[in-house]
Amino acid sequence: MAEGFVSISHLLGGTLEGKTARLRGWIHRTRSSGKLCFVTVRDSTGIVQVTVAKDSVPPQDFEDAKKALIESSVQVEGVVARDPRAPGGFELRASGFRVLGPSENFPITEYQSEEHLLNYRHLWIRSQQLTQIMKVKATALSAAREWFDHNGFYEVTPPILTSNACEGGSTLFEVKYFGEKAFLSQSAQMYLEAIMYSLENVFALPPSFRAERSRTTRHLAEYWHLEGEEAFVGNEGNMRIQEELVSAMVTSCAKRNAAELKALGRDPAGLLGMVPPFKRLDYGDAVRKLNEKGIDFAWGGDLGTNEERVLVEGEEKPVFVVNYPKEVKAFYMRENPDDTRTYLCADLLAPEGYGEIIGGSEREIDVGKLIERLKAQNIPLEPYQWYLDLRRFGSVQHSGFGLGIERLLRWVCKQEHIRDTIPFPRTINRISP
């Protein structure tokens, strides 16, 4: 906080009652009647009511306060007074009111279409809803970094421009690269696997890109991907890491952002219960469970939104679905020695039907098997030689996972659409603003 200015949360804290204070912010709402203006002002910490009485400020200040439209930036000086009618219980009785940057007629009013709000995302980003979500997101990210820090992981910085697919060709964004073809990264996994050979436990938080052709409420073309890779860890150890990490992130949000979560319609007390262990549900048992519930689903299929929703019915906490059939997963996963039709892998499904938030697996270390699978899928080996090399020089058992930050936030913040968990969403029909 700059010299001489107080934050609104400080002002509402009560310790400044009767004192003179100065604050800066933006006009949230305003109305005036005769000799009195009621201006609510917001800053990054809260919203406070400012009363500007004609007799208490210089004449020009009163005129300015009366005229200033919402979203104008202002600087106010006055006395902090207790007032039970004011939101927050305190108000600032102005002795001076200055408009720093006047606002034109704000193009967003109370009832607007989703399309309008997306067109004006650069202004709608100031809304209470998006502000609350961004605060929760900041907590989730710092809690994740704290968790990794306390558990012996190094943060590393993988490339975004890449020459090969990690998750298959259908969702790749192609870019020109000095006359050659390159792709935006779908996942840092392969690079994390390479770095794991020296640092053992690594994580990264890069953006990932998916050219998703579908319009769903849980797919973005650009999202933030929290990925971990761990040496000497198998599929079960990988799940233990994930459940602890998710628990740390979610419970930190519940503790540090209770007010924001409540405003978003999420009960923070419920999130405090998101502690390990999370249930493990074998894919085969998942198929049986779906069939028992009358859903026509055959072994070998991939779980869609509806199946994922049904599988977590009645579950309070996230659920791991373990050991999917090979057909529906990527080539790099380790074959399950107990059922070679499947991989040693797990997807973590959020409760309440929010669906997959993590995809993870033990990695195949048999270079022959990797080559076989690439060939079977008609994928040229050349671009993958460096990846195959990782199995040729001191390979060890290892596992890793990728958590979609916006997927997690959509669940935690109880949002219908994933786009509201990212400031500027990129989807199939939108790249602006």
Q: Which residues bind ligand 4AD (CB under 6 A)?
A: 166-167, 186-187, 189, 210, 212, 219-220, 223, 225, 227, 356-360, 400-404, 406-407
- Give the one entry of ligand 4AD, Mg ion, none that residue 227 binds, where binding means its C-beta sits below a cut-off of 5 to 8 angstroms depending on kind: ligand 4AD
CB count within 10 Å of CB 93 equals 18
Q: How far is the CB of 384 from ligand 4AD (least distance, A)?
A: 14
Q: Is 113 exposed, middle or buried (0-12, 13-18, 19+ CB in 10 A)?
A: exposed
Helix ranges, 179-316 (H): 189-199, 235-256, 258-263, 268-271, 283-292, 305-311
Decide: 411 and 351 in contact? Cβ < 8 Å: yes
Q: How far is the CB of 100 from ligand 4AD (least distance, A)?
A: 38
Rounded to whole angstroms, how far apart are CA atoms 433 and 121?
7
Measured CA angle at 9 (ends 7, 10), to 5 deg: 65
Q: How far is the CB of 200 from ligand 4AD (least distance, A)?
A: 16
Decide: 337 and 312 in contact? Cβ < 8 Å: no
Closer CB to Mg ion, 158 or 359, in the complex:
359
- Give the one entry of Mg ion, ligand 4AD, none that residue 404 binds, where binding means its C-beta sits below a cut-off of 5 to 8 angstroms depending on kind: ligand 4AD
Closer CB to ligand 4AD, 90 or 354, in the complex:
354
Closer CB to ligand 4AD, 212 or 335, in the complex:
212
Residue 310 sits at φ, ψ, to 5 deg, of: -65, -40
**Per-residue mark of binding to Mg ion, 349-388 (x: CB under 5 A):** ----------x-----------------------------
Closer CB to ligand 4AD, 42 or 219, in the complex:
219
Rounded to whole angstroms, how far apart are CA atoms 411 and 414?
5
Contact partners, residue 17, CB within 8 Å, separation at least 6: 80, 81, 82, 90
Decide: 221 and 209 in contact? Cβ < 8 Å: yes
Closer CB to Mg ion, 228 or 359, in the complex:
359
Closer CB to ligand 4AD, 26 or 411, in the complex:
411
- Give the one entry of ligand 4AD, Mg ion, none that residue 166 binds, where binding means its C-beta sits below a cut-off of 5 to 8 angstroms depending on kind: ligand 4AD
- Give the one entry of Mg ion, ligand 4AD, none that residue 219 binds, where binding means its C-beta sits below a cut-off of 5 to 8 angstroms depending on kind: ligand 4AD
- Give the one entry of Mg ion, ligand 4AD, none that residue 282 binds, where binding means its C-beta sits below a cut-off of 5 to 8 angstroms depending on kind: none
Contact partners, residue 67, CB within 8 Å, separation at least 6: none
Q: How far is the CB of 354 from ligand 4AD (least distance, A)?
A: 10
Q: How far is the CB of 356 from Mg ion (least distance, A)?
A: 6
3-state class (DSSP) for residue 60:
helix
- Can you point out the beta strands (E) in 44-88? 46-53, 73-82
- Give the one entry of ligand 4AD, Mg ion, none that residue 64 binds, where binding means its C-beta sits below a cut-off of 5 to 8 angstroms depending on kind: none
Q: How far is the CB of 330 from Mg ion (least distance, A)?
A: 9
Closer CB to ligand 4AD, 236 or 356, in the complex:
356
Q: How far is the CB of 185 from ligand 4AD (least distance, A)?
A: 10
Match 């794991």 to its residue by tokens: 196
Which CA distances in Å does 188 have to 182, 229, 232, 316? 15, 10, 19, 31
> Is 404 a binder of Mg ion (CB under 5 A)?
no
Query: Could you tell me whether strands 319-322 and 180-184 are parallel, antiparallel, or unpaired per DSSP bridges?
Result: unpaired
- Give the one entry of ligand 4AD, Mg ion, none that residue 65 binds, where binding means its C-beta sits below a cut-off of 5 to 8 angstroms depending on kind: none
Closer CB to ligand 4AD, 39 or 220, in the complex:
220
Q: How far is the CB of 402 from Mg ion (least distance, A)?
A: 8
Among positions 58-77, residues that touch Mg ion (CB under 5 A) are none
Decide: 187 and 162 in contact? Cβ < 8 Å: no
- Give the one entry of ligand 4AD, Mg ion, none that residue 357 binds, where binding means its C-beta sits below a cut-off of 5 to 8 angstroms depending on kind: ligand 4AD
Residue 75 sits at φ, ψ, to 5 deg, of: -125, 130
Q: How far is the CB of 347 from Mg ion (least distance, A)?
A: 6
3-state class (DSSP) for residue 82:
strand
Residues that bind Mg ion (CB under 5 A): 359
